[in-house]
């Protein structure tokens, strides 16, 4: 089912817990956001804020001890959380795909690149001739700026940046409406990072896909996304168009994140340290959001939980 007028993804009050011996960790505490057709949404926040947990739940890839305890995830109007397994499997790759954290290490070390594509394509579309697969793979490799010879190579024969490009090409092989990229460039050096990130945006634009780009590098996000959602302790605390967010950050935690971008002049980044992070085991209300300007929402109820302790040091 497609509904071109509505958002590609509409997530409402999503809740994910991890069962631990000390009680449930409330990793995603009622998160609500949507992604429009063709839009790139940045999901930022420090390690442990729940970004990956939320993304995996959107794809319904949550596995024990994690479990989705509430909410809805509408993909093109259909609730992903209510689908049976076969329907869900059909949707992965074709309607939504994931570039997982550290994905370049997820390539099969004993299969040539072309065979890894063949697996993904044939799982969804059935057996195809080698010539057909090969020409599709060459086209996909070209899209991510890789030479055709890469098809015949094994992962260990590629650099980190090349492997990451292969993963991007695989994620778009079946033209998904939504791509979720979890820190797709974090393992790469800075120059390669920018090039790979740009490639990701280029292919997304060509496919007219939507994308969720997870990361904590605010400078990189600033260049790549249309809107940013800031996560803190399992909640989205601010969400706004990217320029608006940088110009007019309203939440204390967003200000910290922006201030932590190292500037050219000031080499030393501001050390961001937030104390009294709520114990994720304690049930807490998800904050109410106030719209402070069109499309700019900020949490109003949890400001007092956040306090800066460390300054430039």
Residues that bind ligand ATP (CB under 6 A): 18, 20, 25, 27, 45, 47-53, 65-66, 280
- Number of other residues whose CB lies within 10 A of the CB of residue 77: 13
Nearer to ligand ATP, 27 or 173 (CB): 27
Smallest CA-to-CA distance from 224 within 40, 95, 24 is with 40
Give least dist CB 47 to ligand ATP, A.
Answer: 3
User: Which CB, 30 or 66, lies closer to ligand ATP?
Assistant: 66
Distance CA 152, CA 162 (A): 13
What does DSSP assign to residue 92? B
When the beta carbons of 38 and 278 are compared against ligand ATP, the nearer one is: 278
Q: Which one, 69 or 120, has the nearer CB to ligand ATP?
A: 69
- Tell me if 3 sits within 8 A of 17, measured CB to CB: no
Q: Compute the distance between CA of residue 196 and CA of residue 206 in angstroms, rounded to an integer.
A: 15
Q: Which of 178, 183, 179, 177 is nearest to 164 (CA)?
A: 183
Is the Cβ–Cβ distance between 172 and 179 less than 8 Å?
Answer: yes
Work out how close the CB of 235 gets to ligand ATP at its nearest, in angstroms, rounded to a whole number.
11
Q: Which is nearer to ligand ATP, 20 or 208 (CB)?
A: 20
**What's the closest the beta carbon of residue 294 comes to ligand ATP, in angstroms?**
28
Inter-residue contact 96 to 139 (CB < 8 Å): no
Instruction: Kindly state the smallest distance separating residue 51's Cβ from ligand ATP, in Å.
Output: 4
Closest approach of ligand ATP to the CB of residue 111, in Å: 27
């Amino acid at each position: 089912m497609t509904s071109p007028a509505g958002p590609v993804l509409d997530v409402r009050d999503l809740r994910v817990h991890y069962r631990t011996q000390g009680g449930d960790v409330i990793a995603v505490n009622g998160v609500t956001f949507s992604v429009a057709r063709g839009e790139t949404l940045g999901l930022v926040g420090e390690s442990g804020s729940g970004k990956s947990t939320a993304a995996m739940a959107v794809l319904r890839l949550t596995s024990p001890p994690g479990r989705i305890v509430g909410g809805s995830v509408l993909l093109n109007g259909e609730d992903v959380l209510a689908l049976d397994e076969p329907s869900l499997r059909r949707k992965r790759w074709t309607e939504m795909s994931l570039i997982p954290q550290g994905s370049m290490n997820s390539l099969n070390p004993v299969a040539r690149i072309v065979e890894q594509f063949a697996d993904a394509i044939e799982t969804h579309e059935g057996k195809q001739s080698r010539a057909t697969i090969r020409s599709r793979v060459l086209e996909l490799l070209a899209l991510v700026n890789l030479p055709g010879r890469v098809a015949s190579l094994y992962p260990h024969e590629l650099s980190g940046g090349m492997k990451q490009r292969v993963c991007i090409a695989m994620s778009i092989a079946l033209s998904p409406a939504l791509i979720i990229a979890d820190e797709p460039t974090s393992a790469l050096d800075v120059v390669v990072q920018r090039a790979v990130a740009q490639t990701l945006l280029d292919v997304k634009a060509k496919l007219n896909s939507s994308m969720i780009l997870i990361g904590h590098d605010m400078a990189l996000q600033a260049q790549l996304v249309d809107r940013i959602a800031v996560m803190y302790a399992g909640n989205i605390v601010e969400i706004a168009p990217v320029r608006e967010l940088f110009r007019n950050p309203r939440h204390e935690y967003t200000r910290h994140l922006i201030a932590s971008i190292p500037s050219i002049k000031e080499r030393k980044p501001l050390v961001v340290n937030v104390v009294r992070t709520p114990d994720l085991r304690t049930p807490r209300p998800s904050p109410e959001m106030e719209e402070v300007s069109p499309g700019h929402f900020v949490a109003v109820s949890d400001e007092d939980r956040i306090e800066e302790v460390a300054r430039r040091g």
